[in-house]
Amino acid sequence: MTRTLVIGGTGPTGIHLVRGLQARGHEVVILHRGTHERPETPIDIEHIHADPYDMESLAEAMGDRTWDLTVVMYGRLRRIAEFMVGRTDRFVSVGGVPAIRGWMNPWLFTPEGLPVPVSEEAPVVMAPEEDEKGFRVARTEEFVFANHPTAAHFRYPYAYGPLQVVPREWSIVRRILDGRRQIIVADDGLTLHHHGFTENLAHAVLSGIDNPEAAAGLAFNCGDDEVLTVRQVIEIIASELNAELEIVSMPFELALPARPLLAQPSPTHRVLDTSLLKTRLGYRDVVPAREAVARTARWLVENPIAAGAPEEFVLTDPFDYVAEDQLIATWNAAIGSMAPVEFAVTPGVGLAYSGPGGRPRSQATFEN
């Protein structure tokens, strides 16, 4: 039986990871501070209570125990990686996509915007002035592999699902629960921003654990197989909750209430190439993105977030409906005041387009 230590393990993805390890026959021990005991955590596993951000606390709690596998999902990853040298046969860690150059700073590129999609071969942040957090995340990745050359490292994007502390979907769900019938988006809500459902992200890590030789020495981008636009997320949630929600599109510069859904001060795309995860580790979503968004919305209805709770603070969504109504009214008045413009020749979408409204067929019938 594989003796496995999970540092963390009680968070939104950690619970699914621990369950998956148990299902695979691992003898699982979780190390965490003990401040977030979850009823979803299997009851028949050992808990070590220590602070993974305090190396003295960690060392005291660990003693001289050793492990076949260590999975680090929480804490000071650099120091933990160093500490676990000689204490574990295999090392698996979870980090974040801000390591990728431009993920948090699309203005590093001209024209503005992160290349789409970005693979693991893309440059990482090499200077703190480009992105302070991304620089630290990238250095941590390097430190992991310097201490554990055969480690497998998994880059998480924003996670969503039950228990998530940054619940993007709450910006939509709360408006529906509050009786709102309009929601403001930037640039028709067409921004693509890669997310990962909690069960899918845990499955990505488990895929690496299941394939140790294929995963060894590599960092993997993680995220749902399908990348949804902001508009699609809104429409899926509204449909799941049987709500009528008019999407009011404005230019990004005006659409201030849309920024919590964009999660960046730019409407540019952030899309990961996850083909390495699929080809080397055989990953596929356990829950398709559209179903995962619907499940998350339903869970939030059943477990609503209190107004002003920490999750809303992290979202930075003020839910200021008075200001939103004023903005919508001003925008509609501006659009309504525009004089009609007549074109001598109506612009088209190109003769190569053959979909609805495109070039008509040249023959009335098709013959094999």
pLDDT in tens, 148-196: 999 999 999 999 999 998 899 999 999 999 999 999 999 999 999 999 9
Which phi and psi (to 5°) does residue 235 adopt? -65, -40
| Amino acid 149: pLDDT | 98
Alpha-carbon span 118 to 97, nearest angstrom: 10
> Of the given ranges (17-21, 299-303, 329-333, 358-362), which has the lowest mean pLDDT?
358-362
| Amino acid 358: pLDDT | 80
The burial of 97, by beta-carbon neighbours within 10 Å (0-12 exposed, 13-18 middle, 19 or more buried), is given as buried
Q: Which whole-number Å values give the CA distances from 332 to 166, 212, 230, 328, 336, in the listed order?
A: 32, 57, 22, 6, 6
Peptide bond into 111 cis (omega under 30): yes
Alpha-carbon span 182 to 198, nearest angstrom: 28
DSSP annotation of 337 reads: T
- Return the residue matching tokens 């789409």: 116
Q: Is the pLDDT of residue 367 over 80?
A: no
The answer to whether the beta carbons of residues 301 and 173 sit under 8 Å apart is yes
Confidence of residue 351 (pLDDT cuts 50, 70, 90): confident
Comparison of pLDDT for 155 and 361, the residue scoring more: 155
| Amino acid 243: pLDDT | 98
Angle at 94 between CA 92 and CA 95, to 5 degrees: 135
| Amino acid 122: pLDDT | 97
Q: What percent of the chain has pLDDT over 70?
A: 100
Peptide bond into 347 cis (omega under 30): no
pLDDT in tens, 129-158: 999 999 999 999 999 999 999 999 999 999
| Amino acid 365: pLDDT | 79
Mean pLDDT of 313-328: 97
Give the closest residue to 4 by CA, choosing from 12, 24, 15. 24
Residue 328: how many other CB atoms lie within 10 Å: 17
Which phi and psi (to 5°) does residue 35 adopt? -90, -10
Beta bridge partners of 71: 6, 92
Mean pLDDT of 69-97: 96
Q: Is the pLDDT of residue 364 over 80?
A: no
Q: Is the pLDDT of residue 293 over 80?
A: yes
Alpha-carbon span 44 to 47, nearest angstrom: 10
| Amino acid 353: pLDDT | 86
Comparison of pLDDT for 238 and 355, the residue scoring more: 238
| Amino acid 332: pLDDT | 97
3-state helix, strand, coil in the chain (%, to 5): 35, 15, 45
Q: What is the mean pLDDT of the chain?
A: 95
String of DSSP letters for 220-245:
EE---SSPPBHHHHHHHHHHHTT---
| Amino acid 39: pLDDT | 82
| Amino acid 250: pLDDT | 98
Comparison of pLDDT for 351 and 360, the residue scoring more: 351
pLDDT in tens, 23-75: 999 999 999 988 777 888 888 899 999 999 998 999 999 999 999 999 999 99
Mean pLDDT of 193-222: 98
Task: Give pTM, 2 decimals.
Answer: 0.95
CATH topology for 76-334? Rossmann fold (3.40.50)
| Amino acid 35: pLDDT | 79
- Return the residue matching tokens 């990728």: 100
Who's near 250: CB < 8 A, 6+ residues apart? 184, 185, 186, 258, 327, 331
Q: Is the pLDDT of residue 230 over 80?
A: yes
Pairing assessment for the beta strands 88-96 and 67-72 based on DSSP bridges: parallel
| Amino acid 34: pLDDT | 80
Confidence of residue 329 (pLDDT cuts 50, 70, 90): very high
Comparison of pLDDT for 351 and 123, the residue scoring more: 123
| Amino acid 47: pLDDT | 93
> What's the half-sphere exposure (Cβ side, CA atoms, 13 Å) at 208?
30
Beta bridge partners of 6: 30, 71
Mean pLDDT of 279-307: 97
Return the domain boundaries, the chain: 76-334
